[in-house]
Structure 1
Amino acid sequence: MDWNFGDLLDATAANVPGDRPALIHGARVISWAEFDARTNRVARAMLAAGLPTGARIAIMARNIPEFIEIACAAFKARLCHVNINYRYTTAEIEYVLADCQAQALFYQSEFAALVAPLFEGLHDLRLGVPIDQDGAYEAMAREGDGRPLNIVRSPEDGYLLYTGGTTGKPKGVMWRSGDARTSQLEAPTIKTVVRDMADHVAMVAGAAAPGRVIPACPLMHGAGLNSSMAELVGGGTAILLPNIRFDAEELWDEAARTRATRILIVGDVFARPMAQALQKFPGRWDLAAMRVISSAGLMWSHEVKQILVAALPQVTLVDILGASEASGFGYAITTATNETPTGYFEPGQHTVLIEAETDRVLEADQPGEGWLARRPPFALGYHGDPAKTAATYRRIGDETFAIPGDMAVREADGRLRLIGRGNMVINTGGEKVFAEEVEEAMKRVPGIEDAIIVGVPDPVWGKKVIGLARTSDGYDERAAHTAMLQDLAAYKLPKQIIILDDLPRHASGKSDYRRALEIALEELGLAAA
């Protein structure tokens, strides 16, 4: 089935109770009937502004209901929404808008000063809509025809997901609706087989108590919005945390109050304070409705997982191994009675390993090491960058594979052990060290709560491995060295561990390796190198 998110949203709205919550943001509740009408009105307003099919519609906002509404309206109007990182400077925003030839920018009013200069310099940018309680956006959502648009859409309609990566300028990953929805349906937590629109309608109509998800990470990153869309398309509810800064106690307050069934996080940066709050306040929250906590983009540690399943024995923890360019490479499932070890994943149904030196695709049952890759469906490529597209989406034999740049090992039992990203390899004395592998070993050490690994220039080794860590009581560097030797060869161990109060991370929770390297160089007196 070639899906279209606009068609799916129309079908879902027609088959759910109109008073069911679609979006919850603190005291604000938007029912499904209201959500459907608001997104239909915004879609009509976009088209009335003269935006042609496929026009890029940029969204710059925090986790507010309007972010989701604008993305859904774009799907309904056959327009292509684009994520803008609200931490960007004016120059960085301008780069993304120019790169994708954005014709409209919807922005939260707090960012008005940042975006004001853009409307003079960008010739393609014809529409700017501030988002506030009584402004231009709200007029769009409240006024006009709220009925479905009744237009013919295509599975080719999609969106652009800009990803910064660790080096270079942001790149826009192009996703078709058809491929994105098919990828969503691969999730191991989906038990109902959905083959066509009739199956979808039956699933939605038959779900008396559909899911309620809290995306704890920013919507401006792919995983946050994707998890919200997946729940909404199924007739469920997306719950957004009221405050800007993440607070674990607030998360549990909202989860209990709204009877949330699923939470999306990004690794230990979210999970550790969540676990600590449950330990500090046992029995404070009624979380009986909670079923799944999933993490995308960053692994989380065994210790934290064990605290969570001990406090919430009914919950399934899911590590999702994916990338902006393709999803569903693997899943690690942890429950109160069973666990996939941290760093290991059960491969997705389309996942393969490709030998780095020979480009040979390993057989499904063959142990070995190689690039982590998958067969379709996946994204189309990078907007405006055919060379990078060809490097990531490679033709091998008579097949095309998505190869985002992670290395993995397939063990004898068929599980995948993630080594790390190829562009985060540290070559030290001729040996290759993957930053993520060392980070996970560090986070298993008692007293280390968070860790980032970088390689700094060294006259003897070429690069030497340096660790940045946030520690708690019980940390001892000598004991840490001994503990890490149980998991890692000696050459992989950090030559030095720099202790910091907080580690540099992006809003998504992912490591900010550029800033981490700057800090390491400063601490080591190598800033001028």
Structure 2
Amino acid sequence: MRIHDVVAFTAARTPQAVALHFEGDAWTYARLDDRARRLARGLRGIAEPGDRIAMLTENTPDYVVAYYGVPLAGMALVFVNYRLTTREVTDNLADSAPTVLITERKFLGTARAAAAAVPSVRTLVCVDDPGPEGAEGPLPLPFAALVAEPPVPLPEPDEDAPAWLIYTSGTTGRAKGAVLTHRNVTAAVLNAVASWESDDEPEVSLMPWPLCHIAGYGVLVSHLRGEAVAVLRRYDPVVFLETLQELRATSTTMAPTMLAMLLRHPDFPRYDTTSITRIGYGSAPMPAQVLREGMAAFPRARFQTGFGMTELAGNVLVHSSADHLRAADDRPDLLTSVGRPMLLSAVRVVDDKGDDTAPDEVGELVIRGDQVCAGYWQRPDATAEAFRDGWFHSGDLAKRDAEGYFSIVDRKKDMILTGGENVYSREVEEVLHQHPDVAAAAVVGQPDEVWGEVVVAVIEPRDGRTPTTEDIREFCGGRLAGYKRPRRVLVVPELPRNTVGKVLKRELRAQVTAATSAGADDTADDTADDTADDTADDTADDTADDTAEDTAPRATG
């Protein structure tokens, strides 16, 4: 099965059914299928089979078109997180070496700068009006011109050919591209269709996730079922509520941060949300209190969650609505579980020797199945490290109880999940070490009710200097995406280290907790402007991605 088959099969069955809602426009399955085929033909005129096609836009219908059309052309779609800085975008493009970069006007400056630095990029495409030609450079190719010609039959791509390339983080802190083949993605979709709960009638599903996040695979799940998906340009609580009420959406999936923002928004009680009968969540740990509030606020909704990663093309564990009800009644410990293996997944918890752990004993989560990615792009070392003895090693510490419920205990690598996006601590530390007032720095995550975790920088200053949160965030501004910048800074005389000089992050987290309780940390970060910016930005992509991000990202279920 190929990725494009998902929309093609449904278009053949119900061509006039609605596939997409976007800002008042409704796309039928016939229109979406035709547009994807047109894109595949257009790409064949400017690129070759096997090429990479990068996408740097917010959510639009044409992003969904690219989900299907790029793989149909025999090429791989590179998901580029639009919240990255120009440097970070350039790094991803330099690694993936795309020949075509598709963007939109608001990111055209970044796209032009990145394309100028990456020789492989030969064609720049813009999905909207790029504005007048000027000193910035020549006008890009309009997306409309790329899809102007009617579709023609094309050779079917191989099921094991790369189809999606999504960047996550690795042990070195350098971004890794997870190679997802047609087989990987469609296996994840089939696993979700077989394992997730759904209503008997086709749903109207509200999609608030960034489509550059692995959680976007949920669009394919809905399309295989013949449902309508309402795509938001980006997550905003009011737009979410307005769309839900207008379309009478019946299901949605959210990052815990999104749900927390929704519940705490002063306008929430004004909207009719009674049409919602199913809510999935994922990409980051869900605070039990937020989950309880959500279940109370949406009494007609069945809640479910799961566990997945970018490398898994989606979820492999699912925690059903029945499990949530049981947790609310008499098993509160189940509120923090990520459920049990889905029907097409093999999941284990193993010790350092690769043997299964005993019930409730912590080990590493390992996975096997057709949806496990083909490896990391141009990273044989990272691929060999992650794939051992026929199993994918997630890098997550987990435990399994006697009833078969899995819980994530911690991350083996120092990944921070904030607002559904992952932050790799070493990447932030490398930037902090460039600050003139910093002698040494370490970054950890601190639990937070709204964001899941917040990024905290612990700094050993140079003699006589005391950098503030404002100093650090301003310094990181042009070097890191907003969600990666430390929200809090703790200055200490000396970082805790072991006998060989390694920073002891377990002790560091304890210091951060103690300092926060005592009010000793510098927390002058949550200004009104910062909060407004992060409300719009610090949601999952992405994540379900590195999630589901980049995680090793958690996808949504």
Q: Does the alignment reach a TM-score above 0.5?
A: yes
| 1:263 and 2:224 correspond | no
CA-CA distance at 1:257 after TM superposition: 1.1
Query: What one-letter code is carried by the residue in structure 1 that aligns with 2:160?
Result: E
Contact 1:221 / 1:508 at 8 angstroms: preserved in 2? no
Output aligned runs, 1:360-399, within 5 Å. 360-362=355-357, 366-377=359-370, 378-395=372-389
Q: Which residue of 13, 16, 40 maps to 1:15?
A: 13
Shift in Å at residue 228 of structure 1?
1.5
After superposition, where does 1:112-151 map in structure 2 within 5 Å?
112-132=108-128, 136-141=142-147, 143-146=148-151, 149=153, 151=155
| CA apart distance, 1:310 | 2.0
Distance 2:277 2:507 in 1: 39
1:510 is displaced (CA, Å) by 7.6
- The answer on whether the counterparts of 2:496 and 2:508 sit within 8 Å (CA) in structure 1 is no
Q: Which runs of 5+ in 1 are unaligned?
A: 194-206, 427-433, 469-490, 513-529
Aligned to 1:32, which of 29, 33, 54?
29
Structure 2 stretches lacking a partner, 5+ long: 131-140, 328-332, 417-442, 461-491, 498-503, 544-557
Kindly provide the amino acid, as one letter, of the partner of residue 146 in structure 2.
Answer: M
Q: Which residue of 513, 516, 520 corresponds with 1:494?
A: 513
Hey, what's the Cα distance between the residues in 2 that align with 1:75 and 1:178?
A: 12
- 1:81 shift after superposition: 0.4
SS class of match (1:59) = strand
Q: Residue 72 of structure 1: CA displacement?
A: 1.4
SS in 1 for 2:34: helix
Kindly provide the amino acid, as one letter, of the partner of residue 20 in structure 2: L
**In structure 1, distance between residues paired with 2:254 and 2:325:** 22
Amino acid in structure 2 at the alignment position of 1:276: R
Check if 1:423 corresponds to 2:413: yes
Output the amino acid matched with 1:330. L
**Residue in structure 1 matched with residue 226 of structure 2 by the alignment:** 235
- Write the distance in 2 (CA, Å) between the matches of 1:78 and 1:291: 38
Is structure 2 residue 264 aligned with structure 1 residue 276? yes
1:41 correspondence with 2:47: no
1:346 to 339, 362, 374: 339
Residue identity matched to 2:377: H
Query: Aligned letter for 2:166?
Result: L
The alignment status of 1:79 with 2:79, answered yes or no, reads no
Q: Which residue of 1 aligns with 2:470?
A: none
Secondary structure of the corresponding residue to residue 337 of structure 1 = helix
Amino acid at match of 1:32: Y
RMSD: 3.4
- Distance between the aligned counterparts of 1:215 and 1:44, measured in 2? 28
CA deviation after TM superposition for structure 1 residue 172, in Å: 0.6
Residue pairs, 1:241-320, within 5 angstroms: 241-242=232-233, 244=234, 246-267=235-256, 269-277=257-265, 281-282=268-269, 284-320=270-306
Give the equivalent residue in structure 1 for 2:59: 63
Could you state the TM-score of these two structures normalised by the residue count of structure 2?
A: 0.71
- d(CA) in 1 for partners of 2:308 and 2:194? 15
Identity %: 20
Matched, 1:406 2:396: yes
Q: Compared with structure 1, are the counterparts of its residues 413 and 455 closer, same or farther at alpha carbon in structure 2 (3 Å cutoff)?
A: farther
CA distance in structure 2 between the partners assigned to 1:48 and 1:425 by the alignment: 41
C-alpha separation in 2, matches of 1:467 and 1:313: 40
Q: Against the structure 1 CA distance between its residues 496 and 132, is the aligned structure 2 distance closer, same or farther, given a 3 Å change threshold?
A: same
Aligned to 1:476: none
SS in 1 for 2:82: coil
* Residue type at the aligned position of 1:452: V
**Could you say if the C-alpha distance between residues 454 and 467 of structure 1 is closer, same or farther in structure 2, counting changes exceeding 3 Å?**
farther
**Residue of structure 1 equivalent to 2:183:** 178
SS at match of 2:339: strand
C-alpha distance 507-103 of structure 1, shift in aligned 2 (>3 A) = farther
Confirm or deny: 8 A CA contact 1:466 1:495 kept in the other structure. Answer: no
Residues 266, 510 of structure 1: 8 Å contact kept: no
Letter in 1 for 2:280: S
Amino acid at match of 1:233: L
Aligned residues between the structures: 444
- In the alignment, which residue of structure 2 is the partner of 1:517? none
CA distance in 1: counterparts of 2:402 and 2:195, whole angstroms = 28
Contact between 1:264 and 1:295, CA under 8 Å: does it hold in 2? yes
CA deviations over 1:68-124 (Å, ceiling 9, x no partner):
112211122221100112223333222222211211111112211222244444332
**How far off its partner does 1:453 sit?**
6.5
Q: Is the 8 A contact 1:218 1:507 kept in 2?
A: no
**In structure 1, how many angstroms separate the alpha carbons of the residues matched to 2:246 and 2:12?**
27
Assess if the C-alpha contact under 8 Å between 1:467 and 1:496 holds in 2.
Answer: no
Paired AA for residue 151 in structure 1: P
Report the counterpart of residue 210 of structure 1 in structure 2. 202
The 1:467–1:6 alpha-carbon spacing in structure 2 relative to 1, beyond 3 Å, is same
Superimposed CA distance per residue, residues 400-424 of structure 1 (whole angstroms, 9 cap, x where no aligned partner): 1111211012233332221111112
Cα distance in 1, alignment partners of residues 95 and 106 from structure 2: 24
Determine the C-alpha separation between the residues in 2 that align with 1:192 and 1:271. 20
Give the deviation of 1:266 after TM superposition: 1.7
Return the offset for 1:511. Answer: 12
- Other-structure match for 2:103: 107
Q: How does 1:418-497 map to 2 (within 5 A)?
A: 418-424=408-414, 439=447, 443=449, 451-452=453-454, 454=456, 456=458, 459=494, 461-462=496-497, 463=504, 494-497=513-516
Residues 396 and 411 of structure 2 are in contact (CA less than 8 Å); yes or no, is this contact kept in structure 1?
yes
Q: C-alpha deviations, 1:285-310, integer Å up to 9, x for none?
A: 33343232222220212222222222
